[in-house]
Amino acid sequence: MATNDVKTAYQTAKNDIANLIGWFECELQKEPETIQWPRVGTLNHVRQNLIETLSFLSGFETREIENSLEEIRGGL
């Protein structure tokens, strides 16, 4: 019984994360009429939180993730 509980909790968490990512994608598709610095600050704050979350989940250092993002941007 306990094994099913942990599997259910694990799957629920995974599904919730996938749905949250989908919501992020929807929010990122929205473009404000005018872009102002406070909005940029908000996005940078979210970006930093996502980097820290990915670091926690993956075990990679935040600097490694930031370096990877810099490399990706350099390739655009």
pLDDT digit string, tens, across residues 1-49:
578 899 999 999 999 999 999 999 999 999 999 999 999 999 999 999 9
pLDDT classification of 75: cutoffs 50, 70, 90:
low
The per-residue pLDDT for 4 is 87
The per-residue pLDDT for 2 is 72
Q: How many helices (H) and strands (E) does the chain have?
A: 3, 0
The per-residue pLDDT for 11 is 97
Round to whole Å and give the CA distance between 75 and 15. Answer: 32
